[in-house]
Structure 1
C-alpha cells in the first residue's frame, strides 16, 4: 500500500504536535533561547562578514548583550523595588480612602443604613473562624513549601537559557543549512522562498516591536516623571510592555496612572497631564515609531494580533502567548501563497472563463 505525500505530511504534522504537547513542560528555556539566538544572529552575521570568526563574533554579541542586560537590571531593579513598595503604600492609602470617604459618601447618597466597617467586619469574622482560617493557612503553607522542586526547576531553566542561546547562536547557520538539506528536492525552492518571507516578517516584527515597546516605556516614564507622578517608572514600564498588544498599553497605562494621580494630587491638572503623556505617546507610536521601526511590510492587523495572543494563551498557556505572533505571521505568509496558488489553479481560471462568457452573452 502506497501512502500519498499529503498523508505523509499530515502524519508528520500530527507527530510534531504530539511531541510538542508531551514535551511542553521542558520546552520553555529552549524556546526562549531560540528566540534570543534568532534575534542575535544578524549581529553575529555582520561581525562575521567583517572578517571575525563565527565563534568570536558570537562571544562578542553574547558578552555585549549580557553586559547590557546586567547593567539594565542593576539600574532598574532597585528603582523598581522602591516603586513597588511605594505602589503597595498607595494601594493601602486607596483602600483607606474607600473605607473612610468613598463608602460613607456612597452610603449617604443612596440613603443606606449604617453598617460595620469592612475592616472591622473582616477582623471579627477572622476571630470567630480562627480555627478554620488556621487550617487554610497551614494548607497554603504546605503548598508553598512543597513547591521547592518547582522553584529549583525554574532556577535551572533560567540558568539553562544563556547556555542554550550561546550554542544555538554559534551553530545557527549550520542548523539552517542542515534543515534546508533535509527538505525534499521537489519542494525545496518553494519552501525556502516561504521561509525567507517568514524570516523577513518575523525579524522585522520582533526587533521592531521590541524597540517600539522600549521607546514607549521611556516616553511614558519620562512623561509621568515630568508630571510629578511618584510611580512613573513602574507604570511607564508596565504600559510599555503591555503595548505589544495594540491599544492595551495605553489603556492600562492611562487607567493606572490616572488612578495613581488621583490619590497623589489634588485637582484635575495632573490628570490632564497624564492624559497628555499617553496621548503624545500614542501619536508618536502611530506616526513615527511603528512606521520607522516596524514598517508596513508586517501586515498583521491589530484584531489579528489580539486574537492570536488570546488564542495562543488559551490553547498552550504562556508558551502559546510567546509563539502567537510568530505563528500568526507564518500563517499570513502561508495564506498569501495559498491565495496565489488558487488564483493560478484550473478551478479559479475555469470560473473566470465562465464569468467572462456570461458577461459576453
Structure 2
C-alpha cells in the first residue's frame, strides 16, 4: 500500500472518530440496539436451524426478551425499590451507630482525638432531607419532568431501542455479508481472522460474563436473604453487577454485607458465619463451574484493563462511552496481540537479538 493510501485511511479513521464524538448524544439507543441484536443473533440462528424463518425467529427472541424485561419490571424492581427506600430511611440510624459504637471503638484503638470524627452535620442534613420528602419516586419524577423536551427525548430514545434492535436482528446476517463483501479481496482472510478473534473475545465477555454476573447475583441475593439480612437482595444484586471485574463482586458484596450484618445483628457470630459461607460458595461456584463453563479462557482482558476501559469510556463519552468501552478494549487487545507477533517477526526485533547473540570479536 502506498504512503498516500496510508494517509487516506488515517484521515478516514480520524473523520469517523470525530463524527462519533459529535453524535455521542444520540448514539445511546443505537448502541443498545446493536448490543441486543448481537446478543440475540445466536438464539435466532439456532431457531433458524430448527426450520423457523428468520422473521419468526426474531419475533420469538423478542418475545423472550420482553417477558424477561416484564418479569424484571414487575418483580425485581419493586423489591429493589423497597430495599432502597429502607436503606434511605436507615441512613440516619447507621450514622448514629457509627458515631456511638463503631467510631468510638476505632478511635480508642487508634488513639485519635475526641472530635476527630464529625458526623453531626451529615446526619442533620440527611435527616432534614429525609423529613422533607416521603416519596422518592415522586422526587425522581419531578426532576425528570422539569424539562418537557428532556422527557420527550428520553422517552423517544427508550422507544427507539426495540425498533433498532428488531430490524438489526432481522437483517444481521445480511449486514455482515454486505460488510464482508466490501473488504479488500487481498486482505479479506487477514481481516476476517482478526474479526473472528474479536468476535470470540467480545462474545465470550458479553454473553459469558453477563450470565456469570446474573448467576452470582441470584446466588448472593438468595444466600443473604436466607441469612436474614434485610438488605440482602440489594447487596446481592450489587455484588453480581460488580462481578464484571473479577473478584470485585466478592470485595464489594462481602464488605457491604459485613457492614449490614454488624449494623443489624451486632457482633453475633452466626450471621457473620452465614455471610462468609454465602460468599465462599459463590466464589467456589464462579471459579470451578460458572467461569470455565460460560466464559472459559478466551477473554484475556486483565481486571485492571476492564476498570480503566470503563472509567475512560465514561469520562470521554459518558454513558455511550461506557457501552463502547469493553468492546473497544477487546478489539484493541486483539490488535495489540497481532502487533506484538509482527514485532517479534520484524527485523527490528530479530536483528538486535542476532547482534546480542554474537560473541565479541577477538582483537
Same fold (TM > 0.5): yes
State the alpha-carbon separation in 2 of the partners of residues 295 and 40 from structure 1.
Answer: 20
TM-score, with length taken from structure 1: 0.85
How many angstroms does 1:78 deviate by?
2.3
Query: Relative to 1, partners in 2 of residues 1:144 and 1:17: Cα closer, same or farther, differing over 3 Å?
Result: same
> Do structure 1's residue 91 and structure 2's residue 94 form an aligned pair?
no
Q: CA deviation at 1:291?
A: 1.4
1:117/1:69 CA distance change after superposition, 3 Å: closer
Q: Is the 8 A contact 1:246 1:306 kept in 2?
A: no
8 Å contact 2:198–2:330 — kept in the other structure? Answer: yes
Residue in structure 2 matched with residue 130 of structure 1 by the alignment: none
Q: 2:120 aligns with which of 111, 118, 121?
A: 118
Match of 1:172 in 2: 172
Contact 1:242–1:248 (Cα < 8 Å) also in 2: yes
Q: 1:197 is matched with which residue?
A: 197
Higher relative contact order (CA 8 A, sep 6+): 2
* Contact 2:202–2:330 (8 Å) recurs in 1: yes
Task: Quickly say closer, same or farther: Cα 1:204–1:98, change in 2 above 3 A.
Answer: closer
In structure 2, the CA distance between the partners of 1:49 and 1:358, relative to structure 1 (3 Å rule), is farther
2:212–2:291 Cα contact (<8 Å) kept: yes
Are the equivalent residues in 1 in contact too, given 2:95–2:123 (CA < 8 A)? no
Residue 283 of structure 1, CA deviation = 2.7
**Alignment pair present for 1:260 and 2:260:** yes
Q: Does 1:219 align with 2:239?
A: no
SS of aligned partner of 1:187? helix
User: Which whole-Å CA distance do the structure 1 matches of 2:272 and 2:249 have between them?
Assistant: 17
Q: Which runs of 5+ in 2 are unaligned?
A: 129-140
1:292-331 deviation digits (Å, cap 9, x = unpaired)? 1110121112222222222222222222222222111111
Aligned partners of 1:99, 1:147: CA distance in 2, in Å? 40
Cα drift, residue 201 of structure 1 = 1.2
The CA distance in 2 between the partners of 1:231 and 1:337, in whole Å, is 47
Against the structure 1 CA distance between its residues 145 and 305, is the aligned structure 2 distance closer, same or farther, given a 3 Å change threshold?
closer
Partner residue, 1:324: 325
Quote the RMSD (CA, aligned, Å): 3.1
Deviation of the 1:158 alpha carbon? 1.1
- For 1:252-277, what per-residue CA distance to the aligned partner results, in whole angstroms no more than 9, with x for missing partners? 21222122111211323212322332
Are the counterparts in 2 of residues 90 and 260 from structure 1 also a CA contact under 8 Å? no
Residue deviations 1:230-268 (CA, integer Å, cap 9, x gap): 111111111101111222222221222122111211323
Structure 1 runs not aligned, ≥5 long: 127-140
CA–CA distance in 1 between the matches of 2:200 and 2:144? 45
Q: Hey, what's the Cα distance between the residues in 2 that align with 1:51 and 1:78?
A: 40
When residues 273 and 359 of structure 1 are mapped into structure 2, their CA distance, relative to the original with a 3 A threshold, is farther
Q: Deviations over 1:195-226 (max 9, x none)?
A: 01111111111110001101110110111112
Q: Label 1:293 to 1:106 Cα distance change in 2 as closer, same or farther (>3 A).
A: closer
CA contact (8 A) 2:145 2:151 kept: no
Deviation sequence 1:126-165 (CA, Å, 0-9, x none): 9xxxxxxxxxxxxxx9987643322221121111111110
* 2:266 aligned counterpart, secondary structure: coil
Structure 2 counterpart of 1:301 = 302
| TM alignment of 1:120-199, pairs within 5 A | 146-199=146-199
Describe the SS at the equivalent of 2:90.
Answer: helix
Residue 29 of structure 1 contacts residue 160 of structure 1 at CA under 8 Å; is this kept in 2?
yes
Aligned residues: 342
How many Å separate the matches in 1 of 2:82 and 2:107? Answer: 36
